Chain A
């Protein structure tokens, strides 16, 4: 039995910060991004390149010309759309990590009409039908785990994760079999390109998906902040008990919100097949659903902040394409840089929420 005679409080204590000036919070976040870029720069230096030059080329290569800028916007569209899709689910503390699969489900449904109904429907009708089909399919794919969560409390994180791979396998099946008589350059099967009638028109050189996604972003902001349903989502996310006390039908809210979340992701799937690539491939989602989760989270589920974060990640990704050609740095550098930025941004939130009190500097003393 040891006898404790020292009179000490712990070396470092944590205290929750109640309020931090907004400017200071943003300064901390900016510093985190800067530190992330410095860390990434070190790795670039290790690879034998001048980080400042490389970063400059990335900016130049993603924003410098209107052509590359359009490419960057094209990358940002699905990222923002999927992040917006995730927002209501996360607000409800329903950890939907299935946006990837919901995008694909929407893409499949839209592709069905693009491939088999393009001749028989006038173009505007065809596009609307494709969009609606995408929304419904994504919504249903999101609804499935919600039904089980509401009824039996089935773990939604793992459920939505599995659904991603099921639908991805289905896309591969369509590619290899029923929908995929074509072979690509490497001899692998692929789904034929859509009829031009099934392609989204362009505005300012980019498919109009950007307008749609921005509109959805604004609507989502309003929905979460000003609508009755948005209010319900917030209450359920905070405390199911309180929601019941207020007379809310919690199961119904969970299902409705996940249908919405999946539906928007499905819409993104439609934009991807009809706008970005002109057909359905197994890369239609391509990890966007996962990256979007980090976008949504870092934006604290505020749709307008998501625009900035999605833009940042799109710049990194497009910039990495450029440095691959210029410096032969593999384009995978984008993923790694994104990861580093995410790490730093996730970590910095701690310093916004908590204050560290070093022993002896606190308000309490024990002598």
Chain B
């Protein structure tokens, strides 16, 4: 059994945390606009299956000439677009047609789960069993950074991950800068806090909500693709997202809507999810108890936030509410 204080544990935590980070960052962007999209799980399914389909069909078409890098790029784009489409459905229903956000989000999760499993399995049926991507594509999702990863200690610790891990960190940094240090980010926050004020200040509330929700959905979808392409090695497994979308929703609260804290939080949650493999006591019997620690932590954060009432760590004030100018 490996040691808890080993490099291997940190690496496993990072690998387990990366899909959560994508899901969380996407949902933070979405919620900052005032939309509580509970469809993260569904969008991750959509992203996952679209990523797999993109890479797989590209390889089928390109034949032996297929390049792993191209397959990965296509997978990423497909995953983003498909999940963003799910978020678009949500946006049309909640923003334009004013449907209840909670219920629409749940419907999106039901739809996305069905869509992912249906397409994933139908692809397998059509291929006569199951789909698998080529070795060169797999290696892209397993790879580290050449040369650097061979450095002692830091090589493994910092440079041994696939490109999606670095992409996730990059998205976190960009999102943090965007929300805190750009005018557009400021406008977006005001839309989620007080759409009436934003509207009066000349901000197009509808456009901001649509864009934030769709881009956020796309980012969440990358988390699904990470699970399918990196963790499942490019094979569709029934119900493969397995509640990670909901963990992402929890992480948003845990991180109190901050991308920087989401970065740390996803590492913690990722670590907790692999903790049982690195702990010497309790064995498999206590494994499910380790699994619920992140949720308990989230509840504690949620309660603490509501009791302390610190203004900066509150949810966006208008989270969950639709906005119509005339109905004030």
Q: Which residues of B contact A161 (CB under 8 A)?
A: 38, 246, 249-250
Interface residue ranges of B72-104 to A (CB < 8 Å): 89, 92-93, 96-100, 102-104
* Binary A-proximity of B31-50 (CB < 8 A = 1, otherwise 0): 00000101000100000000
The verdict on A27 contacting chain B, using a C-beta distance below 8 Å, is no
Cα(A337)–Cα(B116), bound, Å: 12
Q: Which residues of A contact B36 (CB under 8 A)?
A: 157
Q: Which residues of A contact B302 (CB under 8 A)?
A: 154-155, 158-159, 162
Task: Indicate which residue in A164, A166, A335, A354 contacts B111 across the interface (CB closer than 8 Å).
Answer: A335
Q: Are B110 and A342 in contact (CB under 8 A)?
A: yes
Binds B, one of A107-115, A126-134, A214-222, A289-297: A289-297
Q: Which residues of B contact A97 (CB under 8 A)?
A: 38, 102, 106
Instruction: For the complex formed, measure the closest distance between the CB of A104 and the CB atoms of chain B, giving whole angstroms.
Output: 12
Q: Are A347 and B117 in contact (CB under 8 A)?
A: no
* Binary B-proximity of A157-195 (CB < 8 A = 1, otherwise 0): 111011111101111110111000000000000000000
Closest chain A residue to B290 by CB distance? A169
Task: Indicate which residue in A95, A177, A332 contacts B118 across the interface (CB closer than 8 Å).
Answer: A332
Interface centre among B108, B125, B284, B302 (most CB of A within 10 A): B302
Closest chain A residue to B284 by CB distance? A176
* Binary B-proximity of A324-349 (CB < 8 A = 1, otherwise 0): 00001110111111111011001101
The verdict on B292 contacting chain A, using a C-beta distance below 8 Å, is yes
Q: Are A47 and B122 in contact (CB under 8 A)?
A: yes
Cα(A237)–Cα(B118), bound, Å: 39
Q: Which residues of A contact B125 (CB under 8 A)?
A: 328, 330
Given A153-B306, A297-B103, A346-B97, does the pair A169, B289 have CB atoms closer than 8 Å? yes
Q: Are A332 and B299 in contact (CB under 8 A)?
A: no
Closest chain B residue to A333 by CB distance? B118
Instruction: For the complex formed, measure the closest distance between the CB of A364 and the CB atoms of chain B, giving whole angstroms.
Output: 14
Cα(A252)–Cα(B250), bound, Å: 28
The verdict on B112 contacting chain A, using a C-beta distance below 8 Å, is yes
The verdict on A152 contacting chain B, using a C-beta distance below 8 Å, is yes
Q: Which residues of A contact B285 (CB under 8 A)?
A: 173, 176-177
Task: Indicate which residue in B117, B299, B315 contacts A335 across the interface (CB closer than 8 Å).
Answer: B117
Q: Are B107 and A339 in contact (CB under 8 A)?
A: yes
The verdict on B58 contacting chain A, using a C-beta distance below 8 Å, is no
Closest chain A residue to B297 by CB distance? A162
Q: Which residues of B contact A245 (CB under 8 A)?
A: none
The verdict on B155 contacting chain A, using a C-beta distance below 8 Å, is no
Instruction: For the complex formed, measure the closest distance between the CB of A207 and the CB atoms of chain B, giving whole angstroms.
Output: 26
Q: Are B103 and A170 in contact (CB under 8 A)?
A: no
- The DSSP consensus for interface residues of chain A is helix
Q: Which residues of B contact A159 (CB under 8 A)?
A: 299, 302-303
The verdict on A226 contacting chain B, using a C-beta distance below 8 Å, is no
Cα(A166)–Cα(B311), bound, Å: 28
Q: Are A338 and B295 in contact (CB under 8 A)?
A: no
Instruction: For the complex formed, measure the closest distance between the CB of A162 and the CB atoms of chain B, giving whole angstroms.
Output: 5
Q: Are A337 and B114 in contact (CB under 8 A)?
A: yes
* Binary A-proximity of B143-169 (CB < 8 A = 1, otherwise 0): 000000000000000000000000000
Q: Are B117 and A294 in contact (CB under 8 A)?
A: no
Closest chain A residue to B42 by CB distance? A339
The verdict on A360 contacting chain B, using a C-beta distance below 8 Å, is no
Given A152-B307, A328-B125, A350-B97, does the pair A339, B115 have CB atoms closer than 8 Å? yes
Cα(A153)–Cα(B109), bound, Å: 27
Given A170-B292, A293-B103, A297-B103, does the pair A176, B287 have CB atoms closer than 8 Å? yes
Task: Indicate which residue in B106, B246, B284 contacts A165 across the interface (CB closer than 8 Å).
Answer: B246
Q: Which residues of B contact A163 (CB under 8 A)?
A: 295, 299
Cα(A166)–Cα(B103), bound, Å: 22
Closest chain A residue to B282 by CB distance? A177
Cα(A223)–Cα(B250), bound, Å: 34
Instruction: For the complex formed, measure the closest distance between the CB of A303 and the CB atoms of chain B, giving whole angstroms.
Output: 17
Q: Which residues of B contact A330 (CB under 8 A)?
A: 117-118, 121-122, 125
Given A297-B100, A347-B97, does the pair A162, B250 have CB atoms closer than 8 Å? yes
Q: Which residues of A contact B318 (CB under 8 A)?
A: none
Instruction: For the complex formed, measure the closest distance between the CB of B154 and the CB atoms of chain A, giving whole angstroms.
Output: 35
Cα(A332)–Cα(B117), bound, Å: 6
Q: Are B100 and A332 in contact (CB under 8 A)?
A: no
Q: Are B110 and A339 in contact (CB under 8 A)?
A: yes
Instruction: For the complex formed, measure the closest distance between the CB of A260 and the CB atoms of chain B, giving whole angstroms.
Output: 20
Q: Which residues of A contact B93 (CB under 8 A)?
A: 343, 346-347
The verdict on B298 contacting chain A, using a C-beta distance below 8 Å, is yes
The verdict on B1 contacting chain A, using a C-beta distance below 8 Å, is no
Q: Are B99 and A332 in contact (CB under 8 A)?
A: no
The verdict on A287 contacting chain B, using a C-beta distance below 8 Å, is yes
The verdict on B214 contacting chain A, using a C-beta distance below 8 Å, is no
Cα(A330)–Cα(B249), bound, Å: 28
Q: Which residues of A contact B292 (CB under 8 A)?
A: 165-166, 168-170
Q: Which residues of A contact B315 (CB under 8 A)?
A: 155
Interface residue ranges of B224-278 to A (CB < 8 Å): 238, 243, 246-247, 249-250, 253
15 further interface pairs, Cβ-Cβ under 8 Å (given A155-B315, A332-B114, A343-B93): A14-B326, A47-B122, A155-B306, A158-B250, A161-B246, A163-B299, A164-B246, A166-B292, A166-B299, A291-B110, A297-B103, A333-B114, A335-B118, A336-B114, A346-B93
4 cross-chain pairs, A with B, having the tightest CB-CB distances, nearest first: A339-B111, A335-B114, A336-B114, A169-B292
A-B contacts, 17 of them at CB < 8 A, read A97-B38, A155-B306, A158-B250, A161-B249, A163-B299, A166-B299, A170-B288, A298-B103, A332-B121, A335-B117, A335-B118, A336-B111, A339-B112, A342-B107, A343-B89, A350-B99, A354-B98
